[in-house]
Chains A and B, each alone.
Chain A
Amino acid sequence: KNQVEQSPQSLIILEGKNCTLQCNYTVSPFSNLRWYKQDTGRGPVSLTIMTFSENTKSNGRYTATLDADTKQSSLHITASQLSDSASYICVVSGNTGGFKTIFGAGTRLFVKA
């Protein structure tokens, strides 16, 4: 069964600290993996996209890594800001007998002053 699992479900950190969010997937064959940020009351916004051959991609203070062998990805946030408070969603696309895009349930991040 194709699945995308994210951990933790929620996380509270202090402003200025770093954090890492995890994503494990079973989608095969794999096409690409995206990380989205979703602010409360808004639609998701794409942060990074990685294909099979890429193992790291940065977007400002956000750095995503991908290990296609272990089917794991992480999103690292450096020097967190209050505006980083949001849900972070891992999305995996693959060609599994018809193209499939599967969303994780997200990690809810709270950044406190």
Chain B
Amino acid sequence: DVKVTQSSRYLVKRTGEKVFLECVQDMDHENMFWYRQDPGLGLRLIYFSYDVKMKEKGDIPEGYSVSREKKERFSLILESASTNQTSMYLCASGRVFGQPQHFGDGTRLSIL
């Protein structure tokens, strides 16, 4: 069974902390994505990566960075966490450029 695994289901951090969210996929997909999901809004793309060490900004990249050192792993970094970054974060992977296919179960992040 194909899998996208996010390292934490729930995370609580403090304002100003540097936060790392990790995602691993086992399908050998070139493309990986990070989204945030907020009530009443569609998923919004933060960053995506189409190859190792390659990344593209999505619609809301401010305050975030990413790292893709290995094909199967895509990390989202909150450089200095703020309360408006409290959200559900979803990682996805896919074979076709720009299109997510399989999602992880999400990390619910609270910034206090």
Contact = CB atoms under 8 A, between A and B. Distances in A.
Contact of A102 (B40, B42, B103, B106): B42
Interface stretch (B14-22, B66-74, B93-101): B93-101
Interface stretch (A12-20, A37-45, A68-76): A37-45
Interface string B33-51: 0010000111111000000
A101 B106 contact: no
A89 B105 contact: no
A41 B42 contact: no
B90 interface: yes
Interface of B: 4, 35, 40-45, 90, 92, 97-106
Contacts of B90: 43-44
Interface of A: 4, 32, 36, 41-46, 89, 93, 99-106
B101 A46 contact: yes
Contacts of A43: 4, 90, 92, 103-106
Nearest to A93: B99
A106 B103 CA distance: 16
A41 B103 CA distance: 12
Contacts of B41: 105
Given A43-B90, A93-B98, A101 B105 contact: no
Nearest to A39: B105
Choose among A43, A89, A93 the residue with the greatest number of B CB atoms under 10 Å from its CB: A43
B45 A106 contact: no
Contacts of A46: 101-102
B4 A106 contact: no
Contact of B103 (A44, A99, A101, A104): A44
B42 A42 contact: no
A91 to B, nearest CB: 8
B22 to A, nearest CB: 15
